[in-house]
Amino acid sequence: MEVMSNIMTYAIAATQTEESSLSKITTIALLVILGVLTLAFVVVFIQDLIKHKDEMIKESNAIKNFIVTSIIGFVVNFFDTLGIGSFAPSTALLRVTKTTEDRLIPGTLNVACCIPVVAEAFLFISGVKVEPITLAAMLIAATAGAYLGAGIVSKLPTKSIQFVMGCALAVTGIIVVCQLTGVLPTSLESAETGLTGVKLVIGVVANFVLGALMTAGIGLYAPCMALVIFLGMSVDVAFPIMMGSCAYLMPVASIKFVKEGAYNRTACLAFSIFGVAGVYVAYLFFSGLLKNTFNIAGKEVTGKTILLWIVVAVMVYTSTSLFMAAKKKESK
């Protein structure tokens, strides 16, 4: 019996070692590919900045605009790291501060947020444990969805997509709140980091669709959070999946805008530097949150529970934004 017990112990240890090695290899492979894509973007971006440095220096209010967009870049990327998304608040703030012409905003958003989003992906993919097959499959699905599904999505009525996604997020948010408050039974404290079988197929197909919807302007963050919760995984697993899904798309798209010169160079330089700082500060907050338990109104609350409330807030914000966008299109 003792011999059998030792054999079983050794077999389990060997299996765990193999899984750990596979996870490390997958993580390294994903980060190397992302690193190559990002390096290509950085080379093109820096070359363009050097080529137009004199124009940037001679711009009116150049220093003021750099400072203002640096602050905007830090703030929006801090909240982007927590899942709020950076495009909508960046658009509003760039318009309010009059630091970027409207015609340059689409390119500016893509180029400015590229490096910060890649930084998010590097931090979360290397720092949050996700089963390697699940992570790789979900990232590939979102990337494929964005490239292959764009033609299909472009033919669908955007207003209807926004309304349906808004409803789905609102319902998911209500369910999560009911579970957090004890009205419904909960599995929100799940520690599952991967999917198998039918759930994996559902996750891959759903992330393919979410990747395609990104090309229609539907953000992936909140829907991806909802998907992860729906499939019974730990909520923190959503972060490397959603950050990675976006990061793989942005370098290629951003290179196009840089080559066309259709972006605000000063704002993008400021975002690239101070946006990364905002990402890192937010990641430290995220990591500290998950490692601690907090006493709130005399009750012990886990960091994961607080994170779930943040996720609910993201869902409410995104759902409201989608409803407003759909209503705006209808009025037009």
* Mean pLDDT by groups of 10 residues along the chain of 332 residues: 49 50 82 94 95 86 91 94 85 89 87 94 91 91 83 74 84 84 68 88 92 78 86 88 90 88 92 96 90 82 85 87 78 58
Q: Report the Cα 160 to chain-centroid distance in Å.
A: 23
Q: What are the φ/ψ torsions at residue 300 (nearest 5 degrees)?
A: -75, 125
Q: What is the pLDDT of residue 11?
A: 43
- Alpha carbons 273 and 288: distance in angstroms, whole number: 24
Q: Tokens 């079988």 sit at which residue?
A: 197
- Alpha carbons 314 and 324: distance in angstroms, whole number: 15
Q: Work out the burial of residue 277: count CB atoms within 10 Å of its CB; fewer than 13 is exposed, 13-18 middle, 19 or more buried.
A: middle
Q: What is the pLDDT of residue 116?
A: 96
Q: What is the pLDDT of residue 14?
A: 43
Kindly tell me the number of DSSP H helices and DSSP E strands found in the chain.
14, 2
Q: What is the pLDDT of residue 17?
A: 53
| Collapsed DSSP state (helix, strand, coil) of residue 130 | coil
Q: What is the pLDDT of residue 165?
A: 82
Q: What is the pLDDT of residue 13?
A: 44
Q: What are the φ/ψ torsions at residue 118 (nearest 5 degrees)?
A: -65, -40
What count of residues does the chain have?
332
Give the C-alpha distances (Å, rounded to integers) separating 263 from 43, 53, 56, 110, 257. 16, 14, 12, 9, 7
Q: What is the pLDDT of residue 145?
A: 87
Q: Which one-letter amino acid corresponds to residue 51?
A: K
Q: What is the pLDDT of residue 2?
A: 52
Eight-class DSSP state of 104: G
Q: What is the pLDDT of residue 112?
A: 93
| Torsion of Cα atoms, 312 then 317 then 323 then 326, to 10° | -130
Q: Report the Cα 71 to chain-centroid distance in Å.
A: 21
